[in-house]
Structure 1
């Protein structure tokens, strides 16, 4: 399952998704996370963020809803306190970057890029354009193709690191957005982020979350995410990282068959802290038993 993508050597295509894997320390207590191909950091902003007030996570019949609000220690603290540990695990490190406006994205990427010139720097920037643009009334950068193309192009100018743009499934036209970020210089695309969803507390007669809507993830979204991944893979030439409800090795293989080059698992780790380990081992058994290489099944659907 070894492959070179974005100029980086992945021992396998399995990546711990941003927001659900922290910086890897907690799960490393359950299994050696060096078994993974990579880890995408907790979503980072230029300054530390406390996140949203009120309830942040609630269960659904087949997944979770979250309204975390990008709680994170900030880019500087990540570089000083977390990156060395991640690099010590011999995994590809993706720094997931968010912001509230273009300048805050730029500041974060510049700081990451400057550090990447040193030894043991970040390998890939995963640009989360699902973040709200406060200067545009809170609408996410990734909702329409023009905004997505603009911010991708601006970030592309600032770094020589591979830039992978993480897309929102709530976009007006997902394939159009994917083509737009490709034309703006993105090295790759990751999708999907969470789906906008609503939960209501019937006793208080109010929304469960202070922000009213929250992000739905987990097994419930997988068939939709799988369809969206195939749609995007058929419309772009750059590598796609597929995600959305991947819980087992079988799920991950389906995303590869739909065209994904790499895969990320997220909510699965909350259900089973050994999920990453189990997915890698299961995929290894599949390819061995089928006497196949990963490129032989990629995009066959």
Structure 2
């Protein structure tokens, strides 16, 4: 079950999804977070941020909307408290970083450079770009390229940089190529979809911030499609897949589409043990299908029937021998 994400090797492919488990403390009361491939932290910015007005969450069919607004303590407090806690609990950590300006991302990456607890950076470019009238960075190839390039130059060369992309674009491969050209070592796919709920009693938007990010099972087909498209275009770059994963079979879809690892997010609100359960279920699902390793399954859905059989033959033989 070893997950290989470029230069980063994790003992297993299941991570938390940024924003759904803060820095791991809340989930730790249900299971040891060191059991996971890694904890992906809530996106952290250079300065403390209070976030958007309440209400911040609304239920939707097969999902939820959130409008938190990247509330957080700022990078200095994060390093002193949250990152220190993760170190103390032997958790591998992928730090999600965000910003309002290109320089914000680079500065946060610079402050994390060389920190022994930071296994990788996840660059949340699904943020409004103050320099461009609030347009989301990840909706523009040039803006995405500038942020990823700035982070790659500022970050420790030993820390892989994963670009987290939004599906709210016409061509996600175009954005992914721009990020790859700027130095991204891989991708996190996908961020939430922009949505809205109107309260039919108050006759007003249900969220204080009006719009929010849609997550949960409702977005899984979109997420799998994005992973498929980016893996097909850039098969040499690893992908962390996410979006509505509730079971091992859900996770397997992402792996077959090309994801080398997966993040479990919204599911933890109903089942805090979901990440470790998904790991167990994915392990069993791979074994049942004759895969000797996770790597054998990554992207296999892109192959035709005979090629899939050839990929499975060595795995099946090894499984039979054991």
The verdict on a shared fold, with TM-score over 0.5 as the criterion, is yes
Cα distance, 1:106 vs. partner? Answer: 1.9
Alignment of 1:178-193 (within 5 A): 178-193=176-191
Matches within 5 A, 1:15-54: 15-54=15-54
Corresponding residue of 1:128: 124
Partner of 2:173: 175
- Does the Cα contact within 8 Å between 1:247 and 1:265 map onto a contact in 2? yes
Task: Write the deviation string for residues 23-75 of structure 1: whole angstroms up to 9, x where unpaired.
Answer: 11111101112221011111100011111112101111211100000011111
Any residues of structure 2 matched to 1:44-123 within 5 Å, and which?
A: 44-113=44-113, 115-116=114-115, 120-123=116-119
* Offset of residue 287 of structure 1: 2.9
CA distance in 1, matches of 2:46, 2:174: 29
Secondary structure of residue in 2 paired with 1:9: strand
Root mean square deviation of aligned Cα: 1.3
Which position in structure 2 is the counterpart of 1:235? 233
Structure 1 stretches lacking a partner, 5+ long = none
Describe the SS at the equivalent of 1:125. strand
CA displacement, residues 104-147 of structure 1 (integer Å, 9 cap, x when unaligned): 2122111111x52xxx3311111000010112111111002121
Larger helix percent: 2
Partner of 2:273: 274
Q: Whose Rg is larger?
A: 2
Q: Secondary structure at the match of 1:142?
A: helix
Runs of 4 or more, structure 1, over 4 Å off, are: none
1:139 pairs with 124, 135, 139, which one? Answer: 135
What are the equivalent positions in structure 2 for 1:155-234 lying under 5 Å apart? 155-159=151-155, 160=157, 161-234=159-232
* Partner SS state of residue 229, structure 1: helix
Find the aligned partners of 1:57 and 1:284 in 2 and give their Cα distance: 33
Report the Cα offset of residue 297 of structure 1: 1.4
CA distance in 1, matches of 2:3, 2:266: 25
- State whether residues 9 and 92 of structure 1, in contact with CA within 8 Å, keep that contact through their aligned partners in structure 2: no
Equivalent-residue separation in structure 2 for 1:51 and 1:30 (angstroms)? 27
TM-score, structure 1 as length reference: 0.95
Q: CA offset at residue 83 of structure 1?
A: 1.2
Gapped regions of structure 2 (runs ≥ 5): 302-322
Shift of 1:5: 2.3
1:157-182, Cα deviation, whole Å (9 max, x unpaired): 11222111100111232110011101
Assess if the C-alpha contact under 8 Å between 2:223 and 2:243 holds in 1: yes
Task: State the distance in 2 between where 1:170 and 1:286 align.
Answer: 31
State the secondary structure of the residue aligned to 1:82. helix
Retained in 2: the 8 A contact 1:144–1:172?
A: no
Q: Which residue of 1 aligns with 2:9?
A: 9
Question: Is contact 2:164–2:190 with CA below 8 Å preserved after alignment?
Answer: yes
2:264 maps to: 265
Partner Cα separation in structure 2 for residue 3 and residue 260 of structure 1: 10
Aligned length: 297
The more displaced of 171-180 and 191-200 is: 171-180
Match of 2:317 in 1: none
| 1:247 matched residue in structure 2 | 246
The alpha-carbon distance between structure 1 residues 197 and 3, as it changes in their structure 2 partners (threshold 3 A), is: closer
Assess if the C-alpha contact under 8 Å between 1:24 and 1:86 holds in 2: yes
